[in-house]
Amino acid sequence: MADINNLSSVYEPQLVEDKWYEFWKSNDFFAPSADYSKIPFSIVMPPPNVTGALHLGHALDNTLQDILARFKRMQGYNTLWLPGTDHAGIATQAVVEDALAQEGLTRHDLGREKFLEKVWEWKDLYGNRITSQLSLLGSSCDWTRERFTMDEGCSKAVREVFVNLYEKDLIYQGNYIINWCPRCNTAISDIEVEHEDSSGNLWHIKYFVEDAEDYIVVATTRPETMLGDTGVAVHPEDERYKDLIGKNVILPLVNRVIPIFADDYVDKDFGTGVVKVTPAHDPNDFEMGLRHNLEQIKVIDNHGIMHENAGVYQGLDRFACRKRVIEDLTEQGYLEKIEEHSHAVGHCQRCATIVEPMISKQWFVKMKPLAKPAIEKVTAGEIKFIPARFTKTYINWMENIRDWCISRQLWWGHRIPVWYCDDCGEVIVSKTDPTVCPKCNSTNLRQDEDVLDTWFSSALWPFSTLGWPEATKDLAYFYPTSVLVTGRDIIFFWVARMIFSGIEHMGEIPFADVNIHGLILDGQGRKMSKSLGNGIDPIKVIEKYGADTLRFSLITGVTPGNDIRFHWEKVEGIRNFANKIWNASRFVLMNMEDYKTINVENKLTLVDYWIISRLQETIKTVTRNLEEYDYGEAAKNLYEFIWDDFCDWYIELAKPRLFRPQDNMERLLVQNVLHDVLSDTLRILHPFMPFITEEIYQYLPSHNRTIMLDKWPIADDEKIWTDFVDDMQDIMQVVRGIRNIRAEFNINPGAKIEAILIIKDAAKREIFTQNSSYIESLANLASLYIEDALDTKPKQAVSAHTHLVEIYIPLEGVIDIEKEISRLEKDFKNAENDLTKATNKLKNEKFLAKAPPEVIAKEKGKAEEAKLKKEGIEKRLQILKN
């Protein structure tokens, strides 16, 4: 360690952060010890995308987890924070495909096996970037237990779960309507579709009734799907169309004869009240089709191109086809009118391509039976969402859940563990790869081509990472995990699925608390996105300002669950705070050369009692806030205690006592208080700012191996001396009063002046007398006189008044009496206002009857204080006016 006196007066995080991370990691401080007699505390990290880069969302998410992990570790819990990464099926495959496209290749040119080799190469190359970035943040996760959703253990867990669910009839395969992304070329689940309102048209098309002159008009937003219409629906009670039910219409352009039928689904008041029904390309039409036995005609293929069933339109892109269909309808006189209409259009979450609903053979998880216990555990309070309002979000979604489409037509992911026998058609679902058909002994087996939704494996994360399906020690000890920390954007994708998976496969909830945080937005409140180019790279922030500053900036002044706007100004403010901590610590350490530990009891003075009390209160609040996951409030309390109380008041008061002590004991005493307060402060600050606190900690005369394994301070109520705190506040008020006069009368800050305090209350006068040296130094006084009364009150003086004290500053030369009078009159008015407010309350009988006694007592105190202050000013005004 460098000599404390040579340290820079500006804190330079770049010089210390890497050093300490390496120190912690190489000493295995992050890895929980084998001491299983201790109480466990465990968190699994939401696994970031393996090929991704750290963004501010990750920075926030992991800062919160690290705060909890470090806090609990210091409290003595056997703490495991388990890190890992996600294979992120579509996202990763897309990145590698993009890279291939640079060489003019597609994945099909390489073939499945070669392509997967490429993805693994990619993973090995870039897979560590995110984890090394997490290290830069200071994340105290146990890298020795790091996992990956496609590692051997997790893959085993996936198969186990798939087979279990299949055997319980909770996984099935079938032809249903699903969301299809024509660009990604795969099915996606309902929640991977993002609906966005877009202005479109509602086209009104005439469908002529068979064998009649009559026609009915259907309204549609997607005219190209009419090519697949196999019916027309009206509401059963719609008088307009009642007579037509059971008749047929002739589908324009196609000339197919299709039935008119009645269905409750139809809304009489929307459009024309007539719905064209395309069972193969619309989820509602699909349902109606089933109810009325309609034919399903697929007219759009997997690439979004019109299918051969589309007749002359075959080969056209679906949107080009829309144009052509409109043109043809217009030409042939079928188009009645075009209305403007805004409606929600589904886009692929990954690539923003407009999703096409279509019938497809896919694998599904039956959700209702799984959702039921998952709802119950939450409503029963076994799993708690913090903030609580997210409970509702979760329950609403779970109650309206639909089956989960889990198969994806991708190559990167967990291959579905299903084999088909080409000889007898047997379907084999197996945990291990089969070699022969159990039914016909054929070896002509073919594995299902598809992979599983990436969230299928993430859903198992809290137990697959601890060794399941093996009965490992870690699993027995750390499961259920203590808390899950994650963003509100993945409650459905991830949290909900972990909950039902944990209950179903472990028979136990995966975590007791779910701590949801908001999203990081840019300065204007917009989501950060690549297309807007408004993203902030957290690594850049760390390089410039340090990880501690980034961490603290992300959490301070933030309400739980609310979104957070990122502002550089705030980062700079926190950088200044870090610098403040650095310099205050430097001050303490620079005055430690002759320090030795003494027993400070019975030697403390008012200011010592005060700062120790404030420290206890801060420890208490910060501890409670952390237990309640209120990071913002905890950070705010730390900031205020350190900057306002410790730096601005205590250190200032410590200076004369250190430099010009009455005796050697005084210096020793102050050194001890400074040391102890700093030491505790560093420890309660450590979870928030791990690096700077470790750096300073190591300079403390008394320190252990590392701050991160030192003890979390426990607040001592007996060290909260409220009387001393009150007295100190009285003194601070007087100091502020004198300073205010100095500033208002432009007294040179360097000039030492004289002040007179009139204090009637004998006990208070005694306290002020005992502590007069503090007032002298803080207000920079040459002399201070404390009296019970003043016989001849000087006219050539300015005054200020608190409820206890009249302050007089005699001024040489002439003071502007008029100005002084108006200054005092303003104060007088304020005191009078306070007094009337309080007395009015006290005159109110209902208030006296119903308000709690302590509130009434407080109000009486306020009235008394205001009265004394008012009287003081009044008397002074009389003198000035005569």
CB of 865 to RNA, least distance (A): 6
| Residue 660 in contact with RNA, rule: CB under 7 A | yes
Pick from 558, 746, 584: nearest CA to 681: 584
- Contacts (CB under 7 A) with RNA, residues 778-817: none
Of 583, 698, 773, 839, the residue at the interface with RNA (CB under 7 A) is: 583
Asked if 128 is part of the footprint of RNA (rule: CB under 7 A), the reply reads no
**# of chain residues touching RNA (CB under 7 A):** 95
State both tokens at 180.
């299809």
Interface with RNA, residue 9, by CB under 7 A: yes
* 649, 768, 773, 782 from 736: Cα distances, Å: 12, 15, 15, 17
Contacting RNA within 731-750 (CB under 7 A): 735-736, 739-740, 742-744, 746, 748-750
Sole binder of RNA in the list 17, 301, 403, 633 (CB under 7 A): 633
| SS3 assignment for 532-588 | CCCCCCHHHHHHHHCHHHHHHHHHCCCCCCCCEECCHHHHHHHHHHHHHHHHHHHHH
Name the phi and psi angles at 507, rounded to 5.
70, 15
Contacts with RNA, 138-177, as mask; x by CB under 7 A:
----------------------------------------
CB-nearer residue toward RNA: 439 or 526: 526
Of the candidates 14, 74, 86, the residue with the CA atom closest to the CA atom of residue 45: 86
Q: Can you tell me the distance from the alpha carbon of 32 to that of 189, in angstroms, rounded to the nearest whole number?
A: 38
Smallest gap from residue 586 Cβ to RNA (A) = 5
CA–CA dist 771, 732 (Å, integer): 11
How many residues are recorded in the chain?
Answer: 882
Kindly indicate which of the ranges 48-56, 153-161, 395-403, 608-616 contains the residues binding RNA, using the contact rule CB under 7 A: 395-403
The two three-digit tokens of residue 534, written as one number:
């408004």
Does the footprint of RNA cover residue 839 (CB under 7 A)? no
Q: Is 648 in the site for RNA (CB under 7 A)?
A: yes
| Residue 10 sits in the site that holds RNA (CB under 7 A) | yes
Q: What's phi and psi for 296, nearest 5 deg? A: -105, 115
Return the residues of window 185-204 that contact RNA according to CB under 7 A. 190-191, 194-195, 197
Strands across the sheet with 427-429, in order?
427-429, 418-421, 445-447
**654, HSE (Cβ side, Cα atoms, 13 Å):** 26
Whether the CB-CB separation of 548 and 691 falls below 8 Å is answered with yes
Nearer to RNA, 698 or 839 (CB): 839
> Which of 535, 571, 569 minimizes the C-alpha distance to 553?
571
Distance CA 168, CA 616 (A): 56
Site for RNA in 400-459 (CB under 7 A): 400, 402
Min separation Cβ 227 and RNA, Å:
14
Is 52 a binding residue for RNA by CB under 7 A? The answer is no
What would the two tokens of residue 228 be? 């697949």
Residue 777 touches RNA, criterion: CB under 7 A = no
Min separation Cβ 584 and RNA, Å = 4
In the bound state with RNA, the residue whose beta carbon lies nearer, of 12 and 433, is: 12
| Cβ 593 to RNA shortest distance, Å | 12
Cβ atoms of 464 and 501 closer than 8 Å = no
Q: In the complex, what is the shortest distance from the CB of residue 202 to RNA, in angstroms, rounded to a whole number?
A: 7
User: Distance between CA atoms of 125 and 154, rounded to whole angstroms?
Assistant: 21
Instruction: Report if residue 664 touches RNA, rule: CB under 7 A.
Output: no
Q: Which of 52, 271, 467, 713 binds RNA (CB under 7 A)?
A: 271
Residue 270 as a binder of RNA (CB under 7 A): the answer is yes
Least Å from the CB of residue 1 to RNA? 17
Going by DSSP bridges, is the β-strand pair 407-408/451-452 parallel, antiparallel, or unpaired? antiparallel
At its nearest, how many Å lie between RNA and the CB of residue 742? 7
CB 38 within 8 A of CB 602: no
The reply to whether 652 sits near RNA by the rule CB under 7 A is yes
Residues of this chain, 523-582, that bind RNA according to CB under 7 A = 525, 527, 557-559, 562, 565, 567, 569-570, 573, 575-576, 578-580
Residue closer to RNA (CB basis): 314 or 393: 393
